[in-house]
Amino acid sequence: MKSNWIYFDLDGTIVDLYGVENWLPMLIDSNPAPYKLAAPLVNMNKLARTLNKLQRAGYKLGIISWLSKSSTPEYDKAVTAAKLWWLKKHLNSVNWDEINIVAYGRNKWEVCGEGILFDDEAPNREAWGGNAYHPDEMMKVLSSLTA
């Protein structure tokens, strides 16, 4: 049972991938740079403090993020490395219990199962079920768990 798990999508949820200039042409050209250049979408210090507090309270923290739509094994490896680098740079104090970087379009529920999901994609939230939230709700929901 994974009801005490909290999962985060990256791109469009906590990472501003779509705010990187020319992100789509770069991805089409198998350039992983946008994954490293992207700015955070939320206050990382506040998020890190909240996540560390949740872990101390017994919650498990995970990442569930897709690889690029245009994919080769080499590019998948580069994208995975860039996403891990981004997490280390922006959320270094968070010790993730699980990091899943999976093929584009893969059902996230099938990978992770239960718990809470924060994801910018409505189809992912719908497939997940009742404990899935838009990123705009993230800090409110997380704060309610620490109260």
Fold classified for 5-146 = Rossmann fold (3.40.50)
d(CA 67, CA 63): 12
* Alpha-carbon separation of residue 3 from 26, 32, 38, 68, 123 (angstroms): 38, 33, 31, 29, 21
Q: Where do the structural domains in the chain lie, given as residue ranges?
A: 5-146
DSSP label at residue 69: S
Tens-place pLDDT, residues 47-58: 999 999 999 999
Mean pLDDT (whole number) for 95-105: 97
- Which of 30, 26, 95 shows the shortest CA–CA distance to 63? 95
pLDDT band at residue 2 under the 50/70/90 scheme: low
pTM above 0.85, yes or no: yes
Reported as a single tens digit per residue, the pLDDT across 102-112 is 999 999 999 99
